[in-house]
Structure 1
Amino acid sequence: MSEPEKLTKSKDVIAYLAEQFPDCFSLKGDAKPLKIGIFEDLAKRLENDEKVSKTRLRTALRHYTNSWRYLYSVKVGSQRVDLDGNEVEAVTEEHQQHAQETLKESKAKVAEKNKAAAKATAKKAQAKDKPKSTATSKPKPTKKPSKPKVKLADVELNKLSVGQQVQVKAGNTPMSATIVELDKDDVQVQLQNGLTMKVKADKIFLRA
């Protein structure tokens, strides 16, 4: 008997989770807020499942909870569910605030990418249509570049490690968190309330 094929793409892993736990995960329609700490429950339930590894499971779960569809579902009054769809706790105002902040940042990134892509396309089209000229023309004044965001220096980034206590800038107030995963400039942290979120290095501050 041949071994089952391992799932390597987050999309496939999420589809598999929706198949195994239909009362918890979904692919369309309204998503349900998940129980805090549900990764541990998943890891235990799928401990002997050869189709998905813990690493892929963690990555897929992060993709699922960072999706716009899921973030829209994290609202005060909604109930978090476990793997079997049982309601276990209500979404707090603090959790809703974090979800809205993450959603806002995600939308801003997409808008920025779309804007850059449109600008690049327009620039190519302009260069293609513009006739070549040997005459020197006065360069058009360029807009002053916006000040770059202050990022954590490389030497500081190298000091970060899994399990380290840091401050995360989420909204207007920095919050205490613990680093659970490092991926280049992205840092996965867990807040004191148990909520995990993915942030850029420039949102991380070392405690004094």
Structure 2
Amino acid sequence: MRMLQMKKSEALMTTPSEQNVKAGNVKEVLAYLAVKFPACFSVSGEAKPLKIGIFQELAQRLQDDTTVSKTQLRQALRVYTSSWRYLESTKEGVSRIDLDGNAGDVIDASQAEHASKVLEESKAKAAQKRKAKIAEAKSQATAEKPAYKKSANKKPTAASKSTKVNQKPVSNTEAPAKAAPVLERIPAEHVVVGGKVLLKLGQSPMLATVLEISKDDVTVQLGSGMVIKTRQDSLYIA
């Protein structure tokens, strides 16, 4: 009986952060890193060059964190450092930062030149892919277009004339694009455990459920099952 009570007490003491669900893809890993280390990582806007050896620092700081594995960290860092916004920020004289945003080594000319070359090659590949997709789309449209068959020169009958008169012109007016939803920050008193909120990660807000509230910090769970700890001022009305 006593052992059963101890087990129940241990279960109650387990916090949501200790029950984290493993991130499913690179996008979720980067979103998690941006919340965990906001002075170092970001999911939109200008990126900051990372210190050399940042992986070892990440692995050490997250060694007890079950949300991401070392393999996922490597994949996420590879995607992050090869993005255009990151390469554009890698310029000569700019300081690299650690996980806490502290400035370290300065990027030299060779490193900046390498980043510029990689960026140029990446944009060139992207342009080639766009051209290939456009050419493929045109080819498919041509293949699906029915062959034109020249009809005999016949005089239109009265019925055909009336049909033409009654035909309605096709409108080329496109439906207006929907405006992006305006997010309204949720008042602190409305943030309750079990309540639904919107958490903005990058450009797209994500629906989440409040699990725990500790002063200005709030722990929420995304629809994918991923648990993230954030601040109240980053939550919006769902």
* TM-score, length of structure 1 as denominator length: 0.61
Q: Distance in 2 between matches of 1:83 and 1:3?
A: 24
* Residue in structure 2 matched with residue 160 of structure 1 by the alignment: none
* Residue in structure 1 matched with residue 80 of structure 2 by the alignment: 64
* Residue in structure 2 matched with residue 73 of structure 1 by the alignment: 89
* Residue in structure 2 matched with residue 6 of structure 1 by the alignment: 22
Of structures 1 and 2, the one scoring higher in RCO (CA 8 A, sep 6+) is 2
Residue 8 of structure 1, CA deviation:
2.3
Three-state SS of the structure 2 residue aligned to 1:96 is helix
* Residue in structure 2 matched with residue 89 of structure 1 by the alignment: 105
- Residue identity (%): 50
Q: Distance in 2 between matches of 1:109 and 1:21?
A: 32
* Residue in structure 2 matched with residue 23 of structure 1 by the alignment: 39
Residue 125 of structure 1, CA deviation:
1.0
Letter aligned with residue 79 of structure 1: S
Letter aligned with residue 9 of structure 1: N
Residue 132 of structure 1, CA deviation:
7.7
User: Does residue 102 of the first structure (1) align with residue 118 of the second (2)?
Assistant: yes
Three-state SS of the structure 1 residue aligned to 2:72 is helix
Three-state SS of the structure 1 residue aligned to 2:19 is coil
Please tell me whether Structure 1 or Structure 2 has the larger radius of gyration of its CA atoms. Answer: 2
Contact 1:8-1:56 at 8 Å conserved across structures: no
Could you report, residue by residue, the CA deviation over 1:38-95 in whole angstroms, capped at 9, with x for unpaired residues? 0000000001100000000100011000000100000012110001100011111111
1:102-121 aligned at under 5 Å gives the runs 102-121=118-137
* TM-score, length of structure 2 as denominator length: 0.53
Residue 4 of structure 1, CA deviation:
1.8
Which protein has the bigger helix share?
Answer: 2
Q: Distance in 1 between matches of 2:46 and 2:75?
A: 21
- Poorly superposed stretches of 4+, deviation over 2 Å: none
Higher mean C-alpha displacement, 123-132 vs 55-64: 123-132
User: Does residue 41 of the first structure (1) align with residue 57 of the second (2)?
Assistant: yes
Residue 130 of structure 1, CA deviation:
5.3
- Structure 1 stretches lacking a partner, 5+ long: 134-208
CA RMSD of aligned residues (A): 1.6
Letter aligned with residue 94 of structure 1: S
Q: Distance in 1 between matches of 2:24 and 2:117?
A: 29
- Structure 2 stretches lacking a partner, 5+ long: 1-10, 12-17, 150-238
Three-state SS of the structure 1 residue aligned to 2:127 is helix
Letter aligned with residue 112 of structure 1: Q
